[in-house]
Amino acid sequence: MLELARMDGLAAQAQSLEQSPLSVRGMTVSYGQKPAVFSVDMTVVEGSMTAIIGPNGAGKSTLLKAALGVIKPLAGRAMVHGKPLNGQRHRIAYVPQRASVDWDFPTRVIDVVLMGLYRELGLLRRIKVVHMNKAMACLDRVGMSDFADRQIGQLSGGQQQRVFLARALAQGADLYLLDEPFAGVDAATEKAIIDVLKGLKAAGKTVVAVHHDLATVRDYFDRVFLINTRKVAEGPVETTFTAENLNLAYGGRLAMAQIDQLELAAG
Amino acid sequence: MSGEEFVPLSLTPLLIGMFAAVACALPGNFLVLRRQALIGDAISHVVLPGIVVAFLVTGTISAWPMMIGAAGASLVAVALIEAIRKLGKIEPGAAMGVTFTAMFAAGVLLLEQSDTSAVHLDVEHALYGNLESLIWLDAVGWDSLWDPVALAGLPVELPRIALTLVAVIAFVWILWRPLKLSTFDEGFAQTMGLRTGPLGLALVVVAAIAAVAAFDAVGSIIVIAMFICPPAAARLMTNRLEMQIAWSVIFAILAAVLGYVIAGYGPLWVGSDHAVSAAGMIATISGLILAIAAVAAPCRTRTGAPVE
């Protein structure tokens, strides 16, 4: 099996960079003395749903942010379909961690979704009916169209997360990067979000999400990327989401009992 | 009050007060939302030694040397803050606090030690400005507004602050979407390709220009008050940024007009024959507006947010 996983890794690497919607090479990020992410390679497979998993502080979010240029890496680069990120940003939609913004900000739900249309609207173009309709359609996809005129601070955590997803949908990208989209949301929201993500995959889009809940990896995703500062493993859930890899990534912080409960691929 | 009295004595100080208040309140909205409100405070403290040095070097208090002096002082402040932060290993807020107060103290010390009696540059002027003295003696009434000869005698501070206000409005108007987007969600803005670092710097520079232009006319007290009080009060009035900006402009103008009138005539009403500082009263009124908003405005709490 390990052999198979390695072969898949090679296959992913061999998949030409032009095909990969996001490829990361030698990414290294440091917040101080210790690197948060060290020399990580990642090749996202087009049309896949990939979970980035690893323990707290393993550099999951950092890897995502560095790949997007939100954090300046010490070394490494990210490419979109083999081209530098800067000319390709319109192909990427991003859902940051919900807690990363101030929800007291004076703005309405619909205004947040319209932010996703910034590339279309530019500095001064007027917001027309087509833009409003587009934003409303995105809210509708996450089941939030009744809340369009609400102040964002008046939403529950799950509702806020759905608004963030609607904003990403408005970006109309082919690659969706989500930072812990299921953190602290209610069950209804989790269902709504995963339905949207699966819909994206069905439409041929690519989804990458930082994910915490190991119990749902198998149901939600078809590929996993395990990281603990360094890359541990990358590949299909069936071959890569193994007890051995989890132990490597979590370094014994995961009790064997926990691992036993997961329907893992044979290690 | 007749035009013969109002136009030469009160029109220009009123306009300058209003323009200065609005020019500071506009960028203040974003600074308050970015939790950088004290930058306005900082700027007005930090520029003082720069302005004094510029005066000592050139011997005049004209616009350009003062702007250059203020800019130089700001650079020194940034370098000092970074140095204290790195060498002292303390948090940025503390480093800023030390730097601002030290530089303001240095400015006051320079003022006291140097001979600036020939011009209107002293500690009192630095704090309160000289709004009351910015009168338009060439005017004889409302007709003077169409008289080129009289217009030539307008106090130079008026076109200066008017031009600054136009520049501030243009900045906020053109960069509205990037400013809003990067203030709300900087990381997301960056993934869209917005250069949020230079944008944030531009905001601070615009605030600094407004502060220095206003400082010249109305002193640092009003600058500090106008960066914070109207936007903070406006935030309590509405849950939409567009409306918040509108409210902040209304509050800034209200504070400027009420403050000026009360400072000029209030003491007469209560039987005293000494007018009080207009800038001080404008700042006081803006503080009162904030106090009233804090207890009575409609959007004081984010009610309706379910507890998670």
User: ipTM for the complex?
Assistant: 0.88
Distances (CA, A) of B109 to A104, A109, B216: 42, 52, 19
Maximum distance among all Cα pairs of chain A, rounded to whole angstroms: 58
Segment B91-111 shows an average pLDDT of: 87
CA A248 to chain centre: 22
Cα–Cα distance between B177 and B214 in angstroms, integer? 26
Contact B231/B29 with Cβ under 8 angstroms? yes
Residue at token pair 């004209």: B62
Q: Given an 8 Å threshold on Cβ–Cβ distance, is A115 in contact with B190? A: no
Work out the percent of chain B whose per-residue pLDDT is above 90: 38
pLDDT band at residue A8 under the 50/70/90 scheme? low
Residue A63: which of A243, A234, A190 has the closest Cα? Answer: A234
Which among A169-178, B47-56, B113-122, B123-132 has the top mean pLDDT?
A: A169-178
Looking at domain A2-261, which CATH architecture does it have?
A: 3-Layer(aba) Sandwich (3.40)
Q: Does B180 touch chain A (CB under 8 A)?
A: yes
Q: Smallest CA–CA separation between B170 and chain A, in Å? A: 12
Report yes or no: A153 and B184 within 8 Å, Cβ to Cβ: no
Mean pLDDT computed over A60-89: 93
Task: Decide: A81 and B147 in contact? Cβ < 8 Å.
Answer: no
Average pLDDT over residues B106-132: 75
Which distant-in-sequence residues (6+ apart) come within 8 Å of B122 by Cβ? B111, B116
Identify the pLDDT of residue B222: 85
- Which residues are CB-contacts of B295 (< 8 A; sequence separation ≥ 6)? none
For residue B293, the chain A residues in CB contact (below 8 A) are none
In this structure, chain A runs to a length of 267
- pLDDT category at A5 given cuts 50, 70, 90 is low
Q: Which two tokens stand for residue A244?
A: 């051995």
Between A63 and B41, the higher pLDDT residue: A63
Mean pLDDT of B173-197: 94
Distance CA A139, CA A171 (A): 13
Among the ranges given (A32-46, B33-47, B292-306), the one the predictor scored with the smallest mean pLDDT: B292-306
Closest CA relative to residue A50, chosen from A176, A207, A205, A177: A207
Q: Quote the CA–CA distance of A36 and A20 in Å, as a whole number.
A: 24
Predicted confidence at residue B308, as pLDDT, reads 40
Separation CA B7–CA B138 (nearest Å): 10
A119 touches chain B (CB under 8 A): yes
- Interatomic CA distance for residues B259 and A233, integer angstroms: 68
Shortest CA distance to B283 belongs to which of B211, B206, B220?
B220
Q: Which residue has the tokens 């803005």?
A: B189
- pLDDT tens per residue, range A13-43: 555 677 899 999 999 999 878 889 999 999 9
The predicted-structure confidence for A149-192, as pLDDT tens digits, reads as follows 999 999 999 999 999 999 999 999 999 999 999 998 999 999 99
- Cβ-Cβ pairs closer than 8 A, A with B, add up to 86
Helices (H), A100-174: 109-115, 118-121, 129-141, 157-170
Domains of chain B: 3-296 (1.10.3470.10)
Domain spans of chain A?
A: 2-261
Our CA-based measurement puts residue A135 at a distance from the nearest CA of chain B, in whole angstroms, of 16
Q: Which residues of B touch A103 (CB under 8 A)?
A: 305
Interchain pair B302, A184: CB under 8 A: no
Range name among A86-100, A117-131, B15-29, B141-155 with the lowest pLDDT average:
B141-155
pLDDT for position A196: 97
Among A86, A123, A154, the residue with its CB nearest the CB of B193 is A86
Instruction: Round to whole Å and give the CA distance between A101 and A94.
Output: 14
pLDDT band at B305 (very low <50, low <70, confident <90, very high): very low
A123 to B178: CB separation less than 8 angstroms, yes or no: yes
